Structures are given as structure tokens and as C-alpha cells.
């Protein structure tokens, strides 16, 4: 029985074109600055995001931490959403490894931070307080139903940051999903941001890697932060080759994943005992209505027995994420499997 894996878009496997590119990649020692395939990927990424330079890193978590370490010194403060991936799911690396204080403000249901909340969180120059250095956004916002942040909203946050002498970092793990959902050039979403990280290994299907983009000066410092985190890889062109294919071939098809997520939401909304959150990109959340006949764990286990994998999340929510390896038939089979489980 074919397994339909909806746990995350991180489960994507490299495409045949990526495997060929990896096998044929020209490589060098990237730490010594002579891996031509890594260099090509970094140039492509910087151009696609409208920035001066880019840096290939091992993961999104590493990329976010590299940016935080580059923007902030020990004892500085970063304003960040209380539902953000960096705050919830990156092991407190900003504090543990960078000595950076997270100042959380509430994420709104659409993933935004209220500008009034952000401005109130900015510290004045007082010897008792940490210095506020950075504002962090997440686009798309994982825990807020995969919602994309708009060009206008991100620009307003950037202007607020710069008015106060702060910097803006965008955790753009799925920034290309945001661009596809909003129908805009990805450059516009980060035009005024000082740094952005995006993942190759989610909906873009590469097996490993993320990119950090920013000014040439910023990336030069970020390269030092990557080194101290152990992120200097040697013949990394083997991995970068898949990332090049991802940027060339995978960004334009993300709307297909979004359409399948919407179809899954439509199908699940017809099933008794389920309530479905609005879908904007490739992330779908749903939950059991009260009174529920089965526990969250029972639903996950019974779906797995039917060849459908998804995650149970906090507060009884389930998450399903569509991606390249989930087709139309898989969506219909998932709807039927849930109908069977809930029946």
C-alpha cells in the first residue's frame, strides 16, 4: 500500500532531476571558498530574493540562528511572535547559544504582529533593560494556518524597525509559498527586510539546505556565525546542485500544492465530527468537534493503518501539509480514509 505522507513538506524526496544534478555536481571546498556549485546557488538565491549576497546553510534552524547571531550581541533583545517557529521549535538557540533575549508579542490569527504591540515592546535607552536590536517575522506562518504575510504589512514592520534603529529578519522558510499564494514576486515580500532565510528542503524538494540572504556586509559576518556553529561544509556542491534545480524548477509549481490543500479542506469539511481552519497555502489544520468519539492519538494511529500519515498538534489540532509527492488521487484517498476513521 502506497503511504501518503502529509506530516510535513520536509518529507519531500529529491526529484530525478535533482539526483542527476547531485551526481554530476562540480565541487570544491566551500569553507575555502572554491566550491563553484555552492557559489552559483548563492548567486541565484541572492538574485531571486533581491539581495546583494547569500549564504548556503545546513537547515532553516541554523539559518535563523545565524541571522540572529549576526544582528545581535549577547544581552541584546529580539522582538518575536509567541507562535513563531524560532521561539517555539528551535530549542531556544537564540538564548542558549547567542545570549539573545526573546521579547514575545502575540501572533494574531493571520500570523501578523500588531504594530502597536511591536512598538510598545521596543525598549528605551535604559541601563536596566536589554537593548532591542531586531524584529523577527515568519512568512508563511506555520502555526497560524500557513498564512502568508503581505508585501504591505512586511514593509510597514520594516519601516517601524528602521525608524527605531532596529533591523528586520524574516524567517521565510516557506517564502516562495507566500509569493505563490499572493501572486507577487518574492522580492517584493522581503524588499525592505535586512535579512531573510528560506528553505530548499520543504516544498522545493531539495534533500538538504537553506539560504540566508542580505547585504554583502551582512553575509560576510553571517559566514563567521555559520562557521562557529559548525556549519562550514566542504564539498557541499553535491547538496547545492539540488538547490539549484529547486530554484529553477520547483518554485513555479507550488500553486498545485495549494490547490490540493484546498481540495483536502473542502473534503474534510463535509465530514461529521471535523472542523477545518481556512487554507491559504499548503498547510491545513483541522480538529475534532465536541463530543469526539475518538482521541487525537486514535485518529492518527487509525489513519496510519490506512496508509495516511499526519501529525497531531497541540490543543487537539491535526496538521496536514501538501507537497510535490502528494497527488490528486492521494487527496481523495486521504478524505476517504478520514471518513472511514470518523465513521
Domains of the chain, earliest start first: 4-10+253-342 (3.90.1150.10), 14-251 (3.40.640.10)
N-term to C-term CA, the chain: 22
Of 127, 120, 196, which Cα lies nearest the Cα of 160? 120
Q: Helix 237-245 to helix 16-24 angle, to the nearest 10 degrees?
A: 140
pLDDT per residue over 206-252, tens digit each? 999 999 999 999 999 999 999 999 999 999 999 999 999 999 999 99
In the prediction, which pLDDT does 1 show?
82
Of 271, 290, 265, which Cα lies nearest the Cα of 338? 271
pLDDT band for position 290 (cuts 50, 70, 90): confident
Q: 3-state SS of the chain: helix, strand, coil percent to 5?
A: 45, 20, 35
In the prediction, which pLDDT does 235 show?
98
Query: Residues 181-193: what's their mean pLDDT?
Result: 98
pLDDT band for position 343 (cuts 50, 70, 90): confident
pLDDT band for position 314 (cuts 50, 70, 90): confident
In the prediction, which pLDDT does 294 show?
87
In the prediction, which pLDDT does 98 show?
97
In the prediction, which pLDDT does 166 show?
98
* Average pLDDT along the chain: 97
What DSSP character marks residue 138? Answer: E
Q: How far, in Å, CA of 266 to CA of 274, rounded?
A: 11
Of 145, 207, 198, which Cα lies nearest the Cα of 175? 198
- In whole angstroms, how far apart are CA 165 and each of 125, 132, 343? 12, 9, 57
Contact 9, 253 (CB under 8 A): no
Contact 229, 67 (CB under 8 A): no
- Using the predicted structure, report yes or no on whether residue 293 has a pLDDT greater than 90: no
pLDDT above 70: percentage of residues in the chain: 100
Of 80, 287, 99, which Cα lies nearest the Cα of 166? 80
Please give the grid coordinates belonging to residue 326: 502528494
In the prediction, which pLDDT does 76 show?
98
What DSSP character marks residue 249? Answer: I
Residue with cell 535604559: 126
pLDDT per residue over 92-116, tens digit each? 999 999 999 999 999 999 999 999 9
Query: Residues 320-324: what's their mean pLDDT?
Result: 98
pTM greater than the 0.95 cutoff = yes
Q: How far, in Å, CA of 324 to CA of 8, rounded?
A: 11
- Using the predicted structure, report yes or no on whether residue 291 has a pLDDT greater than 80: no
H/E stretch holding 334: helix 328-342
- Helix, strand or coil, per DSSP, at residue 2: coil
pLDDT per residue over 117-175, tens digit each? 999 999 999 999 999 999 999 999 999 999 999 999 999 999 999 999 999 999 999 99
Q: How far, in Å, CA of 199 to CA of 138, rounded?
A: 12
Amino acid at each position: 500500500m502506497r503511504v501518503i505522507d502529509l506530516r510535513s513538506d520536509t518529507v519531500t524526496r529529491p526529484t530525478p532531476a535533482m539526483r542527476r544534478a547531485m551526481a554530476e555536481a562540480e565541487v570544491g571546498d566551500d569553507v575555502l571558498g572554491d566550491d563553484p556549485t555552492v557559489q552559483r546557488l548563492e548567486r541565484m538565491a541572492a538574485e531571486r530574493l533581491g539581495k546583494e549576497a547569500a549564504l548556503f546553510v545546513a537547515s532553516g534552524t541554523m539559518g535563523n540562528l545565524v541571522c540572529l547571531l549576526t544582528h545581535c550581541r549577547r544581552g541584546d533583545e529580539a522582538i518575536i511572535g509567541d507562535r513563531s517557529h524560532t521561539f517555539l521549535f528551535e530549542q531556544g538557540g537564540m538564548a542558549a547559544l547567542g545570549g539573545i533575549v526573546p521579547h514575545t508579542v502575540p501572533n494574531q490569527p493571520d500570523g501578523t504582529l500588531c504594530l502597536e504591540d511591536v512598538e510598545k515592546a521596543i525598549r528605551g535607552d535604559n541601563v536596566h533593560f536589554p537593548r532591542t536590536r531586531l524584529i523577527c517575522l515568519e512568512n508563511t506562518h506555520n502555526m497560524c494556518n500557513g498564512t502568508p504575510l503581505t508585501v504591505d504589512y512586511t514593509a510597514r514592520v520594516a519601516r517601524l524597525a528602521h525608524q527605531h534603529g532596529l533591523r528586520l529578519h524574516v524567517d521565510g522558510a516557506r517564502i516562495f509559498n507566500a509569493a505563490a499564494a499572493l501572486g507577487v514576486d518574492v522580492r517584493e515580500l522581503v524588499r525592505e527586510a535586512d535579512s531573510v532565510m528560506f528553505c530548499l528542503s520543504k516544498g522545493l524538494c531539495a534533500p538538504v539546505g537553506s539560504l540566508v540572504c542580505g547585504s554583502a556586509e551582512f553575509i560576510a559576518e553571517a559566514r563567521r556565525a555559520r562557521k562557529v556553529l559548525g556549519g562550514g561544509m566542504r564539498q557541499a556542491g553535491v547538496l547545492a546542485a539540488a538547490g539549484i534545480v529547486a530554484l529553477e524548477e520547483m518554485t513555479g509549481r507550488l500553486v498545485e500544492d495549494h490547490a490540493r490543500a484546498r481540495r483536502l479542506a473542502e473534503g474534510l469539511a463535509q465530514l461529521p465530527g471535523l472542523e477545518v481552519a481556512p487554507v491559504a497555502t499548503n498547510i491545513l489544520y483541522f480538529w475534532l468537534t465536541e463530543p469526539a468519539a475518538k482521541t487525537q492519538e486514535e485518529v492518527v494511529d487509525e489513519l496510519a493503518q490506512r496508509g495516511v500519515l499526519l501529525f497531531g498538534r497541540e490543543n487537539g489540532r491535526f496538521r496536514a501539509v501538501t507537497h510535490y509527492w502528494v497527488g490528486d488521487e492521494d487527496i481523495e484517498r486521504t478524505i476517504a480514509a478520514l471518513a472511514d476513521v470518523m465513521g
